[in-house]
Amino acid sequence: MKTTLFFLCASAAVLSAQTTITKVFNDPLIGETINNVNVNETVNNSATGANTTFTNSSLTQGSASVTTYSAPSAGEITTFPGSTLKMVGGGSTVYYKQTATKLEITGLVTTDATLNFSSNNGTFISYPAGFGFSENDAAAGTFSSTAGSGNFSGTITIDADASGTLLIGSKTYTNVLRIKSVQNFNLTVFGFSVGTVVNTAYSYYDSVHKFPLLSTTNAVITVQGNPQSTNIAQALNETFLAVSDFTKKDSFKIYPNPASDFIEFQGDLSKYSTANIYSLDGKLIKMSDLKSGKIQISELPPASYFIEFSGNKSQSESVKFIKK
């Protein structure tokens, strides 16, 4: 059971003054792959509050760890009702339900146990989530393992408890938002308590990258009074790339940004045919094609928005802009 719940809490705004986790920018998509690496040394999660510095310059790159997202099969949806997304990574599989406001966990399968959130899905993240965001959620279902089977229930507490600058390896990332997630579950068999699971996870997001720059999980499992603790930490592989690779130019750009009347495009847009504009909370504001090479935005209220590019044979891509 030691690794059973790691992926409940690991896995998830270029010009904005504050990073906000939104559905349109951060929600995982079928077909996506995340190239992570395990990190050496111990991650320092002690900093809290606004405008802080997360000091992790001593971290070094470990082994590769790839995560993929795909569509669950009909059989998997029957087993884990409501699932719309399947994540595979690190020897575990997590099933999610995507809604307009949440990414919820419906099931988890590891080599030593299966958790089915059939009674009450667990919240992974609610949208939008900026600094100061806090949510308490209940989760419940069944578990099965080589040691036995039964029920689990408990709470999930999610807090965006810190923001600032992340120092990781030799790089510095600004405008970073940290999401802290604590899961407390009680395990029961035939109505009798047999143990507890407490997971504490930290995920560090910036406004440029869809998935966390750095994430850690500490799992403490206590069965019959015997606690066992396990830790895992991962980072995006690009955090350890050479500076020349890290600063390579994007395939296309939008300009001007901020803009008042029109947004124009520069670069290779051959894979894309449409552009949708969303508010930061994921509401669709405007739809347009890309034939003219620009989109009129004069009617939009001054605010920050996401523009999502999509095509029939390509994955969508999002960029943030400011309407002034």
DSSP structure string for 113-164: EEEEEEEEPEEEEESSB-TT-EEEEEEEEEEEETTEEEEEEEEEEEEEEEEE
Q: What pLDDT tens digit does each residue of the chain (324 aa) get?
A: 544 444 444 443 333 347 999 998 899 999 888 989 999 999 999 999 999 999 999 999 999 898 999 999 999 999 999 999 999 987 789 999 999 999 999 999 987 788 999 999 999 999 999 999 999 999 999 998 877 899 999 999 999 999 999 999 888 999 999 999 999 999 999 999 999 989 999 999 998 889 999 999 998 888 878 888 888 899 998 888 654 444 444 456 788 888 899 888 877 777 778 888 887 666 788 888 887 788 999 999 988 888 887 776 555 677 778 888
Tokens 């720059």 identify what position? 213
Look at residue 312 in the predicted model and tell me its pLDDT: 61
Query: Residue-wise over 157-178: b if at least 16 C-beta within 10 A, else e?
Result: ebbbbbbbbbbbbeeebebbbb
User: Where, residue-wise, is CATH 2.60.40.3080 in the chain?
Assistant: 249-323
Per-residue model confidence (pLDDT) at position 117: 97
Residue 267 CB burial class (10 angstroms; 0-12, 13-18, ≥19): exposed
The pLDDT of residue 7 is 45
* pLDDT for position 291: 77
How high is the pLDDT of residue 252?
A: 63
CATH number of 249-323: 2.60.40.3080
Q: Could you say which DSSP state residue 21 is in?
A: B
CB of 285 closer than 8 Å to CB of 279: yes
Predicted pLDDT of residue 211: 93
Q: For position 3, what pLDDT does the model report?
A: 47
Amino acid at 213: L
What is the value of pTM for the model shown? 0.75
Taking the C-alpha atoms of residue 135 and residue 133, their distance in angstroms, rounded to an integer, is: 7
CA-based Rg of the chain, rounded to a whole angstrom?
Answer: 21
Q: For the chain, where are the alpha helices, taking DSSP H only?
A: 23-26, 74-79, 243-246
